Homo-oligomer: A and B are copies of this chain.
Amino acid sequence: MDPQVRAEAIRRLNYIEGHIAGIRRMVEEDKYCVDVLRQTLAVRRAIERLESLVLAGHLRTCVVDGIRAGDADRITGELIEIFNLNIRRTGGDEG
């Protein structure tokens, strides 16, 4: 991972970890379910933005280098896997 992307990813993961700890405290203090759900939805979006950052770094470095180095099959296979995990397809053909 590019050093700048890595530093930013670590910064965000620390923030996300704190956010999750805050949600746990909300549940321990028996806060209203709807307020808990608002926070879990916010933390999921933060994780998606982190994924966008990591994926952009991956595309600009590993993907370009890998394809130039003749490793296209593995590289494209991994990207399809990530996209399919994102839409929650679990195995099977593309039908």
CB pair A13 B6 closer than 8 Å: no
How many copies of this kind of chain does the complex include? 4
CB pair A23 B30 closer than 8 Å: no
Bound complex: CA A54 to CA B41 (Å):
12
Which of B37, B63, B72, B78 lies in contact with A54, CB distance below 8 A? B37
CB pair B43 A27 closer than 8 Å: no
Given A10-B27, A17-B20, A76-B64, verify A40-B45 contact (CB < 8 Å). Answer: no
Residues in B with CB closer than 8 Å to A55 are: 33, 37, 80, 83
7 A-B residue pairs with CB within 8 Å: A14-B24, A37-B55, A41-B82, A49-B87, A51-B87, A67-B67, A86-B86
